[in-house]
Amino acid sequence: MRHAWGTPERGYEIDKTFECLSGPDSFPDMGIPVDIVIQAQPGALGVEGMVAVDQDGTLLYCAPDRQPAQAQLTPPDIGWGRIQAIDVFDENLYVMDTETNAVYIYDATGGLFSGNPSLFFVEEVRKLSGAIDLAMAQDELFILYADGRLDRCRRKYEPASGDNRRIRVECDDDLRFQDDRPGYEATTHIPSAVPVEMAYSAPPEPSLFFLDTFSNSVFHYSMRLVYQGQYMALQPFEGEISALTLGPPNDLFLAVGEQVYHVQPRR
């Protein structure tokens, strides 16, 4: 993994002092990462950094001018099935396990995600077969499926006996992607697209971005799932877009082979 600093206007420079995964033997206990997320300051290392996870729940924390730190997530009681994706929001780590049909929540202690996990879906076992990505958007959890469907779930807290609280989860599992352009109708998936990844951009302009491998582009939707735009290269890329992420102020960065491209969404 590499760290680069700079600006889109001036260009970027590789940080040669950045230490993270530099090969299969750099951290013997760390397998191939299945997902990587940004952890806001102070995080585990005192500054903004990144967190990577492998199939066994091994975590690697990396940040500029810091030594990497390695840790292990406490497995759920039934063990791990298949860790598919993670996300970080409000000092909590969300881990989606598609084989056990669960999304686990880990609290941060001193920036490190530790302790026993709690379940996002408390009173039901939600079928996550085919789920490929998740994103926390404030108090809502979005789950993307391989067939293009999208679920939106939120936790409701209700008083129970004594000082206890009951957690109830409400999900919208028939969401429709809307498009106000002539000739388009609301559908349960993005038309003519095969989304494989999504990213949430925070306020003041909250929205969702979807990486589409079919058109090798990125679709932009509002939080009400109204079409905002599609971003694709004027000249076709030489390879497929393999990943996307967001940087301030909600600009897009796309990985294509060994190149990283910068996109400024329309505002």
Residues in Cβ contact with 142 at an 8 Å cutoff, skipping those fewer than 6 apart: 134, 135, 136, 150, 151, 152, 198, 200, 208
How far is residue 266's CA from residue 218's CA, in Å, rounded to a whole number? 13
Top pLDDT among 175 and 5 is at 175
Count of CB atoms situated within 10 Å of the CB of 40: 13
Query: What is the average pLDDT value for the chain, to the nearest integer?
Result: 90
How far is residue 45's CA from residue 67's CA, in Å, rounded to a whole number? 8
Residues in Cβ contact with 91 at an 8 Å cutoff, skipping those fewer than 6 apart: 107, 108
- CA dist 150 to 8, 117, 123, 189, 252, Å? 32, 24, 21, 7, 21
Q: What is the mean pLDDT of residues 191-218?
A: 94
pLDDT for position 22 = 72
Cβ pair 240, 217 in contact under 8 A:
no
**For a pLDDT cut of 90, what percent of the chain falls above it?**
62
Residues forming a β-bridge with 248: none
Residue 67, class by beta-carbon neighbours within 10 Å (0-12 exposed, 13-18 middle, 19+ buried)? exposed
The overall pTM is greater than 0.85? yes
Cβ pair 113, 53 in contact under 8 A:
no
Confidence of residue 111 (pLDDT cuts 50, 70, 90): confident
Structure tokens at 40: 């806001």
pLDDT(94) > 70? yes
Cβ pair 43, 50 in contact under 8 A:
no
Q: What is the mean pLDDT of residues 31-59?
A: 92
pLDDT(267) > 80? no
